[in-house]
Chains A and B, each alone.
Chain A
Amino acid sequence: NAGVTQTPKFQVLKTGQSMTLQCAQDMNHNSMYWYRQDPGMGLRLIYYSASEGTTDKGEVPNGYNVSRLNKREFSLRLESAAPSQTSVYFCASSPQGASREKLFFGSGTQLSVL
């Protein structure tokens, strides 16, 4: 049972390049989330998907787009990367919603934008 799998683990981009972070969970969870973690700050929600077919903005959505491809997969896209998007990105999932139940996190993607 792999849990939440994120790819890639590391990525370096130049300003203006685009990329997609992939996330998949094998726990049949309804809700999925993308967070970013920066030094000296708590995890901040970028986007979330409460159920298959729905997505909503979180606290810091600017510069990002998401796709809930199916129940298992939730991808995060940076259309035109900026240095301010240098961060560690975590995908997470929850059975029925993070406000009620614990989150299961992936191992993270370390992204550097030069």
Chain B
Amino acid sequence: KNQVEQSPQSLIILEGKNCTLQCNYTVSPFSNLRWYKQDTGRGPVSLTIMTFSENTKSNGRYTATLDADTKQSSLHITASQLSDSASYICVVSAGLVRDDKIIFGKGTRLHILP
């Protein structure tokens, strides 16, 4: 069964600290993996998208890694800011053809404290 599991479920860190969010997937065939940020009361916004051949991609203070062999991805946030408080959702695409084969994780809720 195609699944995307994220950990931790929630995380609280102090402003300025770094953190890493995890995503494990059992999706086949694998096409690409994305990370989205969802602010409270808003729709998700894309941070990164990685294909099978890419193992690192950065977007400002956000760096995503992908290990296609172990089917794991991580999202590292450097020097966190209050505006990073949000849910982070890992999304895996199971193929390029069918648009319904996109599996969303449940998200990690990140709280940044001043």
A interface residues with partner B (beta carbon < 8 Å) = 4, 31, 33, 40-45, 48, 50, 56-59, 90, 92, 94, 97-108
Which one of A33, A50, A99, A107 has the greatest number of beta carbons of chain B within 10 Å? Answer: A99
A107 to chain B, nearest CB (A): 5
Apart from A41-B106, A44-B104, A94-B99, what 4 extra A-B contacts exist at CB < 8 Å?
A42-B89, A43-B104, A99-B99, A108-B41
Instruction: Give CA–CA (A44, B97) in the complex, Å.
Output: 18
- Count, chain B residues at interface, CB 8 A: 27
B69 interface residue, CB < 8 Å from A?
Answer: no
Closest A residue to B94 by beta carbon equals A99
Q: Which residues of A contact B49 (CB under 8 A)?
A: 101-102
A100 to chain B: closest residue by CB: B96
Given A41-B106, A100-B93, A92–B100 Cβ distance below 8 Å?
no
- Taking a contact as CB atoms under 8 Å apart, the answer to whether A105 and B43 are in contact is yes
